[in-house]
Amino acid sequence: MKTIGTIAIGALLFVGIVGTAEAKCFTFSGKSDVGVCVNGDSTDSRKEAKKICESQEGSCGNIKSSSSKCHSNSGKCYDENGHASRSLSGY
């Protein structure tokens, strides 16, 4: 029984660690109605999100916050390919 419990706890920890390495959606100080969702939360991922924002919207300012989803009534949630949408989730 102890072995099964240990395996179960190990599996939950693994899923928790892997789950935190997912993509993120970022918002920007200069464009509050814009969000960009990219793969990862590293410095390079943040730079890529800002690059996408600026290529689609012009100057975006700095990253203000991150989340696992984006919703924009104006349809300004951009994915990692620069495609616009009203809503993106699962990031």
11 domain residue, yes or no? no
Residues 77 and 83: their CA atoms lie apart, in Å, by 8
59 domain residue, yes or no? yes
Total domains in the chain come to 1
- Answer whether residue 15 shows pLDDT above 50: no
- Answer whether residue 58 shows pLDDT above 70: yes
Question: Given pLDDT bands bounded at 50, 70 and 90, which one contains residue 14?
Answer: very low
Task: Pick the closest to residue 72 from 57, 84, 55, 82 (CA basis).
Answer: 84
Q: Give me the domain span that covers residue 76.
A: 23-88
What pLDDT, on a 0 to 100 scale, did the predictor assign at position 2? Answer: 56
What backbone phi and psi angles, to 5 degrees, belong to 11?
Answer: -65, -40
2 domain residue, yes or no? no
What pLDDT, on a 0 to 100 scale, did the predictor assign at position 6? Answer: 44
48 domain residue, yes or no? yes
**Proportion of the chain above pLDDT 90, given as a percent:** 73
* More confident site: 23 or 26: 26
Task: Give the count of beta carbons closer than 10 Å to the beta carbon of residue 31.
Answer: 19
Q: What is the pTM of this model?
A: 0.75
- Answer whether residue 81 shows pLDDT above 90: yes
